[in-house]
Amino acid sequence: MSHTFDPTILREYDIRGIIGETLGADDARAIGRTFGSMLREAGGERVAVGYDGRVSSPMLEHALVEGLNAAGCDAVRVGLGPTPMLYYAEASDRDIDGGIQITGSHNPPNYNGFKMVFQGRPFFGGDIQELGRRSAAGEWSDGTGTVEDRDIVDEYVSRMITALDGIDAEALEGIRVGWDAGNGSAGPALEKLVARLPGEHHLLYTEVDGEFPNHHPDPTVEENLADLKKLVSAKSLDFGVAFDGDGDRIGAIDGEGRVIWGDQLLMIYAEDLLTTMSGATIIADVKASRALFDHVEKCGGEPLMWKTGHSLIKSKMKETGSPLAGEMSGHVFFADEYYGFDDALYAGVRLLAASARLGKSVTDLRGAMPDMINTPEMRFQVDESRKFAAIEEVKDRLANSDAQVNGTDGVRVNTEDGWWLLRASNTQDVLVARAESDTQEGLARLMDQIDEQLRLSGLERGESVGH
């Protein structure tokens, strides 16, 4: 017996496809069988399994557990919840050796997929390709595993609330916050969380609905924050927090309705953390604003620019001992008092904590940030065979110029006008571009440089495409 996956679903950071077209129960069963076999070879046998609120998730979960059991692994079913709750189950229990969350993240309702943890580390890149190879070759172990149901949501919520330990109760009592779960899988855990938080809390869309009837659950797209902005304005709240479909990415707005983007959130978290951990390394991806790296230095930290991708960031944190990292996409990782994985609910609690400890409102913290003029993340279609080659061509051309180039992940070029970035997506046939300047004229010149480099490689920016 063996199983061959549609090659489009084996991605860099996870497995993800369209239900009924590229992904179904047989794929889930094979993922369980192969992952379980790989884990047993490495000396593990117990796997935590969770799932999001998509209509297809229970079906995939059932098949996945069958596959894990057939490989001789025991499945610990933690049920419906956000991806970080699954990560918590794996990180907090020494008897659990791996974890798999069934989730389509922020993709449309007809998508679903799998995010995996293997003995405490991200399972991605070459691991996923090896899983595909072994499945096609039928390299599976045989056995009979057990199934255990474990309700961990209250324990998970209790653990998150420890982020407020040591903060004067009076500093938190008057805080007023809006929360938007976007009908994603974070809703039920969020309800339990805010019931135990000090202050006043107003909730939107906590009912789990895999059709996402109110708005798409991607908090990095400003139009998806419209209802949260209305709530914050109508109730005169201090700030608002939003989540993606599986609760591992955070979005936020201040009391005036201004978006606090991923790198700006990291500025707040870094300022708070560096008051007690001076000299700590703070990691951000190459899409982050120069203002973040400057702010980390000013607050006494060591900024480190790294590759985009939550699995890559997590690995770099372990390597460097960094207590805090984040991405423009809203993944934030705390390893100072937490486990180092991306948990948007915990990040929401840490925003309350940072505001209280720093003695400044979130609106004041956002207002103190420099007004950089930057583009959104622009993504445009490029043939798969050309995307990495084009980036290498740009690097080669710039190597013979006076340009200041950072080649950590694609090409990030510093000029007197600011900086511009061109990188190849690891998950799609697109190039990603971004630019930032102090002036509109400077931004226009940076965009001209991007267009010129694309032209020299026989490409053009064209219309931006979605995730």
Secondary structure of the chain in HEC code, one letter for each residue: CCCCCCHHHECCCCEEEEECCCECHHHHHHHHHHHHHHHHHCCCCEEEEEECCCCCHHHHHHHHHHHHHHCCCEEEEEEECCHHHHHHHHHHCCCCCEEEEECCCCCCCCEEEEEEEECCEECCCHHHHHHHHHHHHCCCCCCCCCEEECCCHHHHHHHHHHHHCCCCHHHHHCCEEEEECCCCCCHHHHHHHHHCCCCEEEEECCCCCCCCCCCCCCCCCHHHHHHHHHHHHHHCCCEEEEECCCCCCEEEEECCCCEECHHHHHHHHHHHHCCCCCCCEEEEECCCCHHHHHHHHHCCCEEEEECCCHHHHHHHHHHHCCCEEECCCCCEEECCCCCCCECHHHHHHHHHHHHHHHCCCHHHHHHCCCCCEECCCEEEECCHHHHHHHHHHHHHHHHCCCCEEECCCCEEEEECCEEEEEEECCCCCEEEEEEEECCHHHHHHHHHHHHHHHHHCCCCCCCCCCC
Is residue 105 annotated as part of the catalytic site, yes or no?
A: yes
Catalytic residue among 37, 56, 105, 437: 105
Residues involved in catalysis: 105
